Each structure stands twice: as structure tokens, then as C-alpha cells.
A and B are shown apart, each in its own frame.
Chain A
């Protein structure tokens, strides 16, 4: 029994935190988010060289052969600085390839993903706020030498940065993932509240793909990938929550009103304590869920729903209190607290809001 991180994992965390501070401080995050591509190729290449893109890719496919518990170390630490790097999307896409592709396809995709040469993202559902195989309505129909696609995927994370996309469709024999190149489809930015985590729609109407670019996917695999998305999102919520709590906690020690630091007033310090309680709690649940991805798949669904079910509402509140406890300065565009509040709104519905997850917990728990 050991529910802690290893020496290597702690070193990895330090490495990511240092990288974010040096190579991608907040002013750089803001610049990248404002650019058209919302993507920094040079930064991306550095993350590839550090090995972060191949963490969960097996060694024989050019990766490091580690587990999701190692991956979330990177996701959490990068999210402390709101790193605008599609690491989670890349990891989800490689997890999808590992789950659904043939050995040959793995050999052609995964090494290029580990090296960063291919930037790949995953788009699963066509309906906002509906997680179910039936919420995949885009389709692939057989042609003489392959398939023709139909539909338009809304709100695909990191679609602008990607050069390949894996999109869930209803194929002739059930669910499948269609692999398409960016140049085959029309990607249109869909700006949201949070421009540090860009999304776009992907129009695939009439796009033709070869037979080998349609990867069969079972309902269970779709559910598994959705759960992995939940783990990745929650890990980022842990990192971003840690950062805004630290920022707010520090401010409360320094800001003087009525002759005392505001952190001395219980209206302030008790809110900080509650933020800490919630963050600690969804942190523990998140680590367990990440561990379960590889080591206890039968517990994964419930573990993810616990973590994301808790984090969705808790991080939203942490975002609000983080801004609120700063007073007016927190409301300003130049101050970073607002970026975290926006991230909390972004994360809330991703891979299921609290209603979805709590209902699933009730079902899994026999109600």
C-alpha cells in the first residue's frame, strides 16, 4: 500500500514546473492564446524532447512505456501555469490508437506522436452535455475503396493546433474512429470564455478516407476514452486549482485592510480553508482514478465519476472565490486570477459535469 508519488515522479513534476516558469511564463501563455494557431511549435518540440509526449506510449513504439499516473504528473504541473500545450489531447489520441488500432497502425502513428511530429487530437461527441454512444451522430458510409464521412464535430479541443484528428463516427458496423488529416477537413475556431484552451468545430461532410483510416471502436472503448478524458481534465483542474489557491493565499497575507492582513479575517481565512479542503479531496480522488486507468480498470468508471463529479463544482467555486477574495484587482484583465476562473468554467462540462457523474455514481452504486 503506497498512495504517494515516486522519486522519479517528483523529479518530473519539478521539471515541468521549472519548464513552465522559464519557457512559458504567463505573458507567453497570453501571447500564444491570442495567436491564430494558438500553438507554439518550438515549445511543442521542447516538450517532445523532454519525453512528455510519449509517456504512455509503449517503448517499442518510441515512447517511455509509463502509465497514466505518470502522465497526470505532467498535466497537473503544466496546468499550474495554464500551459497552452495540447499534451492532454495528444495523450488521449495515443490512448485511442492503443485501444482501437491494429499493430500496423500503431507502428505508423505512435512513433510520430511520441516525437511530436504528429499533433493529434480526439473528438468524441456531437451533442454538448450528452455522453452516450447515441450522442455520436457523425457517420462513415462505405464507398468502393473506403468511406465517406458526414457531420460536423463541435468543440473539438486543440483542433486548430492538430495536424491529424481522430473523430468518433457511426460506421457501417457500429462505432468507429475516423482518422483525418487537417487539410482534408474544415476547422473553424469556436472561441469560448477560456482562450488558453482553444476549441474548434471540424466539418467532415463529404470527406473521403481510405478503409484503413477507420478504426473500429466498441461502446466500452468509447466509454474508456471518455473516462480517460475525465482523468486528464481533472488532473488539469488539480494543477490550476493549486495555482489559484496559492495566488489567493499569498495575496491574503499581504493585502492590508482595517490595519490587518485580510487573511486574518475569518470571512477570508475560512474560504481559503474550504478551498484547500476541496482541492485536497478532488486531488486524492483524481490520483486514484489515474492509477485505476492501468491498474484497476474495473474501478475506473466510478473512480472518474468521483473525481470529476467532485472537481467540476468545487473548482468552479475555487475560481469564483479566487477572484472574489482579491477584490477589484482580481476582476482586471491584467491580473492572472481571472484566467483560472475562466479555466474552471471551461473544465466544468468537459467529459461530464457533476450531474452526469453523480447520476452515474448512483447507478453504479445500485440505485
Chain B
């Protein structure tokens, strides 16, 4: 056991830091073209798709370097390394693993160059947690499939150019995991209609999508017909490390401590209240637990041991932290804590009150806590499925 980094790893960290120092000016000083320039530069560095194979334009980066990159970037609160987030997280890896040569040539460079934004069409109105039961229908008709059905909660649908779409091509199956087929579909195809949905925080980040007689050429199928479940599961498994999340949570905790130091309770400094001290310490412990859990799992991966579903442990911690930290901050601030951005007494520009309305992004979006507990009990502890 040792927590030291090799000279190569240290110099890589140094390289990331110097790059950030040179290329990431404070928010106020960022000009109009800042983001474009930033994206070009991190791309030139080979940091977009860092762990992807070189033949696809990645850097073949190691797991530790990848963790260092994520850690330093989130420590500096840097913008993302690419705007095609889902493209980088799972669409790209899915195409690299299951795609045809044409698909790889056509889609991978645009993901790396932030030219195309992808969204993910998995959930349906009647099938969320029970994803494998999806009903959106695709029928083979000569050289194309005809798609009919509905998707919902599709993040980024209003501004994405492409969607990775999960459909059912066979309704006569004994296992619901069979008969599912995955497609890559342009959002401007005739018959695709997007209706944005407003969430409780006021944003319209997700949408419902209606597919009416949409023609999808056979060459846009990802993987074989009926293989869609495998494609989805293995692609989703690509996004595992929680290193970046830990640094973000640590930064949030620092802000929370500053708030505590500047707050009063019943006229006395809040930082002297034992309950408040205990609550903040609990957050800190949970974040550290995530950090060291993550490092243990990273070590397992480096040694080539299979990770089962241990990442669900950190997902559960993160879910409770996302809900509790913002809530604690607004409670600490009384009514002023309830004001949103722009309110005359809004605390920290309303970031806590906004956060208290935004937790479903993390808590529901990636599989709910109940589903994470099922995963732990069934896949790690070996309990029977319910």
C-alpha cells in the first residue's frame, strides 16, 4: 500500500497543472472565444478521449493518469474536456466496441472534436428502472428500419444532433433482455419530434421524443439485431471512476464551511453549535469514504481484477450528499437561504437553493438509490432477484 505517485505520474500532474495555469483564466477574464480555444487546446493535448485507443484518436492513457487528469481538472473547476459528454462517456466507447468500420470513421472524430452532441434515448414513459422492458418498436423493411414509439427524460435532446436509441425489434422473446436493438439516429430525421420538459428547478434540460415512422438505415444499427442490451450495458460500464466527483464534492464542502463560519444560530456563531459541527464532519467523512473507496477500486482495476458493482457504494453516498448538503446550507441560512439567484438576500448567489432543487439530476438520473441497493444486494451479496 502506498499513496505516492511515480515520477512519471507526478510529472504528468505537473503538466496538467501548468496547462491549467496557462490556459484557464479566472471566470471574469474569459472572452467570447474562450470555450472554443480551450476545447481545441485540450484536444491538441490528447486529453479528450484520453483513455481511448490511439487508433481512434485517443491517447491510450493509463488509469492513474486518467484519474489525475480528472482530479486536477475538477480541482480547477475547469470546463469539460469536450462538449459531447454522452458521446465521450458511452456512445464513443460503444461505437469503438460494437460499431462497424464506417461507423467508427463517421462518428468518433466528431465526438473527440466536440462537433456533435449526443443524447441517450433509453427511458420510456412506462419503462424507467425496468429499462429492459422497453417497447419503442423498430421493424426491418428492406434497407432500413421503421421506428415508432416514445422516449422520455432524454437529457440534451433539445440541442443534440444525434441520439443513441434503444428499441425493441422482437416482441416474442422469453427474456426481456433479448430482442433489443440499438441505433444511431440523427435528431433531424423526418418523424422525430422533440418536446422539452421543464424541471422543478426551472430548466428545460430534458425532453420527450416521439418517433413516427422514422426511417433508420440498416448501416446505422449499432451491434447486431437483438444485441442491444449487451451494447448498452457494456457501454455504460465505461464511466466508472468517481475521482472527479470527489473533488467537486470537496470544493462544495469548502464552500459550505465558509458559509458556516459566516453564519449565526440564535445569535451565536454557527461554528460553535455541536449539531452543526457534527453534520459538517459527517459530510467530510462521507466524501473521504468515497475517495478511499474509489482508490481501492482503482487499484483493483489496475491489478486487472474485475470490478463487480462496487461503484454503487459511492453512488449511494453521492446521492445522499447531493440532497443533504444543499438542504443543510439553506436551513442554516433561514429564509434568505430560500431565495434563488438574483434575490435581494440570496445566499452565495442562490447556488444552495438551486442545488436543493437539482439533486434529481444525480439521484434519479443514473439509477435510483433503491436500484443501487438492489444491485449491491443481488450482484455483490448474491441475494435472489426480486
Contact = CB atoms under 8 A, between A and B. Distances in A.
Is B one of A's binding partners? yes
Interface of A: 1-6, 69, 249, 252-253, 260-261, 263-266, 268-270, 272-274, 276-277, 280-282, 284-285, 287-288, 291, 295-296, 305-306, 309-310, 355, 357-359, 361-362, 365-367
Contact of B1 (A4, A249, A285, A362): A4
29 contacts: A2-B299, A2-B302, A3-B1, A3-B295, A4-B299, A252-B383, A263-B381, A263-B384, A266-B373, A269-B378, A270-B370, A270-B373, A273-B377, A273-B381, A281-B289, A284-B293, A284-B296, A285-B288, A288-B292, A306-B288, A309-B285, A357-B281, A358-B285, A359-B277, A359-B278, A359-B281, A361-B285, A367-B271, A367-B277
B317 interface: yes
Contacts, number: 153
Interface of B: 1-5, 9, 64, 257, 260-261, 271, 274, 277-278, 280-282, 284-286, 288-290, 292-293, 295-296, 298-300, 302-303, 310, 313, 316-317, 370, 372-374, 376-378, 380-386
Contacts of A261: 383-384
Given A270-B370, A280-B313, A310 B383 contact: no
A352 to B, nearest CB: 13
Contacts of A273: 372-374, 376-377, 381
Contact of A365 (B64, B284, B380): B284
Nearest to A354: B278
Interface centre among B290, B373, B385 (most CB of A within 10 A): B373
Contacts of B373: 266, 269-270, 273-274
A365 B257 CA distance: 9
B1 A291 contact: yes
B386 A265 contact: yes
A281 B293 contact: yes
A367 B261 contact: yes
Given A280-B310, A358-B281, A359-B274, A3 B383 contact: no
A264 B377 CA distance: 9
A277 B292 contact: no
A51 B257 CA distance: 46
A260 B384 contact: yes
A272 to B, nearest CB: 5
The 10 closest A-B pairs by CB, nearest first: A284-B292, A358-B281, A281-B289, A269-B377, A362-B277, A263-B383, A361-B281, A273-B373, A273-B376, A4-B299
Interface centre among B261, B284, B317 (most CB of A within 10 A): B284
B374 A269 contact: yes
A285 B289 CA distance: 6
A54 B382 CA distance: 39
A69 B3 CA distance: 13
Contact of B370 (A6, A266, A296, A359): A266
A264 B280 contact: no
Contacts of B303: 4
Contacts of B281: 305, 309, 357-359, 361-362, 365
A264 B282 contact: no
B201 to A, nearest CB: 28
A204 to B, nearest CB: 35
B243 to A, nearest CB: 11
Contacts of A264: 383-386
Nearest to B384: A264
Contacts of B382: 249, 253
B252 to A, nearest CB: 14
Contact of A355 (B278, B296, B380, B381): B278
Contacts of A69: 1
Given A266-B370, A270-B373, A276-B376, A296 B3 contact: yes
Contacts of B380: 276
A2 B377 contact: no
Given A269-B386, A359-B274, A1 B3 contact: yes
Contacts of B2: 1-2, 291, 295
A318 B59 CA distance: 45
Nearest to A291: B1
Contacts of B9: 1
A249 to B, nearest CB: 5
Nearest to B68: A1
A260 B384 CA distance: 9
Contacts of A359: 274, 277-278, 281
Given A277-B376, A358-B285, A3 B292 contact: yes
Contacts of B298: 1, 3
B1 A5 contact: yes
B296 A306 contact: no
Contact of B299 (A3, A296, A310): A3
A269 B285 contact: no
Contacts of A2: 1-2, 299, 302
A102 to B, nearest CB: 32
A264 B372 CA distance: 15
A306 B284 contact: yes
Given A261-B384, A269-B378, A359-B274, A310 B285 contact: yes
Given A3-B295, A249-B383, 11 more contacts: A3-B296, A252-B383, A264-B386, A269-B383, A270-B377, A285-B292, A287-B1, A358-B281, A359-B274, A362-B278, A366-B257
A287 B376 CA distance: 22
A310 B377 CA distance: 21
Nearest to A5: B1
Contacts of A269: 373-374, 377-378, 381, 383, 386
A1 B64 contact: yes
A41 B2 CA distance: 36
A176 B286 CA distance: 37
Contacts of A287: 1, 292, 296
A283 to B, nearest CB: 8
Contact of A367 (B257, B299, B302, B313): B257
A51 B381 CA distance: 34
Nearest to B271: A367
A272 B383 contact: yes
A1 B285 CA distance: 21
Given A2-B299, A277-B317, A367 B377 contact: no
B3 A291 contact: yes
